[in-house]
A and B are shown apart, each in its own frame.
Chain A
Amino acid sequence: MSQLRVRAGGLYTTVQDSGRFGYYHMGMPPSGAMDAYSAIAANLLVGNPDGAGVLEGTYVGPTLEFTDERVVAVTGADVPVTVNDEPVEPWTAVRVRAGDVLGFAMIRAGCRVYVAVSGGIDVPVYLGSRSTYTLTGIGGHHGRKLADDETLPLGSAASAVRQGAAVPQDLRPELDGAAELRTVVGLCSYRLTEDALASFLGTDWKVTKDADRVGYRLRGGTLDFTEREQPFGAGSDPANVVDLGYPVGSIQVPGGDEPIVLLNDAVTGGGYATIGTVISVDRDRIAQTKTGDVVRFNSVDLDTALAARTDRRERIERIRRAIAG
């Protein structure tokens, strides 16, 4: 069996794919690549199916050594990529041979890099997915982040891919500036005063250091809840509701001053009032923010959310055509 050597695991690198679905009702989140668009693009570049296993690196990418001839592609965050210490192009299919070493320098913009290798990272499928969910230690590579000096199984490489195939510049995500997150306001947003809701949408929120695959905690303002007699079973804090389900992407404000956006490894429910949901397409964008970055929430309706989905699908098809071309 062919293997990929992990010389250095990087800061927090996990195996991910398009996610694990159908277990939310028992408390298991989907996991999967946080920036789904970049992960799909990486797979397309190396000739893999969209949902093949990729590596998701965070802040500091891994150092990887190949043991046979493969095609590799790096997408996601803006980061200098090297093969044997020589710069190579990101968002581009690169052919590598046994002994070649892929490495990363410091990230310039964004937060997460994706590494796809032709054949895919072939860890065992668990409950329909190769995605890692570290909280309970399932999926991926032994349910955890990669360590130094270990190996990962690779699948057999698919048909020939075009060396040098690249994602056109206009189809690569824009990672500079504040992240504008389109948000469907609702769920329990009635818990906020009108002023608080306006302030939520008008504030430049800063990503705190508590930002990981479970969720992002933000700071930058204080939001007031409307006064009420708490309903039976909710608990006494004004931010409390009778425990309910949390959509992936939903925003809650425990204590009124630190909004939390739940992401791919979300806790699936709990007792804090949710006030809206970041649309699925823009989860890709928040996944590319890091501590200190600014995010803003823009209220949109469901039509806009669905149109954004269609638009993303068309962009992926354009990548597919550009690579085939």
Chain B
Amino acid sequence: MTEKIQLPPARYEYGGDEFVFVELDQAMSLEANFAGMAVTNALREEAIDGIVDICPSNASYMVQVDPDRLDPRELVERLRRLETTVGALPDDYVLKTRVVDVPILFNDPWTHETLMRFRDRHQDPDATDLEYAARINGFDSVQGVVDAMTEAPWIVTMLGFVPGLPFCYQLVPRERQIQVPKYVRPRTDTPERTFGFGGAFAVVYPVRGAGGYQMFGMAPAPVFDLSQSLPDFADDICFPRANDVLRYRAIDMAEFEATRAEVEAGTFRYRIREVEFEPAALLADPDAVNRELLEVLYR
């Protein structure tokens, strides 16, 4: 990217006796996320007894440990060694992942109804969440901010909050990132499949529930399917995986309804293509790599 971001030394913290939390940077960047990807991939390959789970996050990661089998202090020593040997991703590292088309109906009636009920918890009660986001990010219109969110794809940098919720960071330089605050006070309600935005992250809410992210639209297709009736969920109740590249594509009500009908009929499948790309190349020339990713997706 325009200016290479140097990460500070990682910070190791014990989350009680069962978790080790490692902060790679306090700020979000693709560099921090890729560094986390490098170390958590290496750790997974070591298959150390006593590691219960490895949870990559946006600019940090967390390891759940069974302290009866693995002393958390020993784990931290191993993680420090990995930090020096693996460090950042090597320049020739090739990420094998999926690129997925994720349709979104912006300005949909359902999130609009919900956001109107919670205006008292919002920074700008007289505007919609999308109008507010457009204004504070310097766009003349809602269409401008929607275009910016849908032109370049996103990478899943963390799963969590609730099962299957993908935190997505756009594959563009920092100066082109869209940022919005979370609600002043969290809502008690968010419709299922809401396309939300908080900080520099876009999400799709897997289930209905509380939430603090701005609400911009709705996905017709689920990211979480407990019944596993859709083919894309045959192996897993959650669709998104860490490192997936998602392209959010604006659709109209007609396509939304058609896709909903496919979901209801159990025939819906995401458009998915296997891809490989070099994170280093992406950092150097994001627009070129993004063009290739989208070319593969819609070929």
Contact = CB atoms under 8 A, between A and B. Distances in A.
Interface of A: 21-28, 135-138, 183-184, 186-188, 231-237, 240-245, 247-250, 254-255, 267-271, 274, 277-280, 302, 305-306, 308-309, 313
B9 to A, nearest CB: 14
B14 A242 contact: no
Interface in B51-75: 52-62, 64, 67-68, 71-73
Interface of B: 13-19, 21, 23, 25-29, 52-62, 64, 67-68, 71-73, 158-165, 167, 169, 174, 177, 179, 181-182, 185-186, 198-201, 206-207, 209, 212, 224, 226, 236-238, 242
Contacts of A243: 57-58, 158, 161, 167, 198-199, 201
Given A233-B177, A269-B161, 7 more contacts: A24-B55, A25-B55, A236-B181, A244-B58, A247-B15, A268-B160, A271-B182
B154 to A, nearest CB: 13
Main secondary structure of the interface of B (DSSP, over half): loop
Contacts of A235: 179, 181-182, 198-199
B26 A302 contact: no
Contact of B64 (A24, A187, A306): A24
Given A231-B28, A235-B182, A245 B61 contact: yes
Contacts of A245: 19, 21, 55, 57, 60-62, 158, 160
B160 A27 contact: yes
A243 B158 CA distance: 9
Contacts of B27: 231-234, 242
A26 B28 contact: no
Given A25-B53, A235-B182, A271-B199, A247 B19 contact: yes
A270 B161 contact: yes
14 contacts: A26-B163, A27-B164, A136-B207, A184-B15, A186-B15, A232-B29, A233-B179, A233-B199, A243-B57, A244-B58, A248-B16, A250-B15, A269-B160, A280-B18
B161 A306 contact: no
Nearest to A143: B226
B285 to A, nearest CB: 21
A196 B22 CA distance: 23
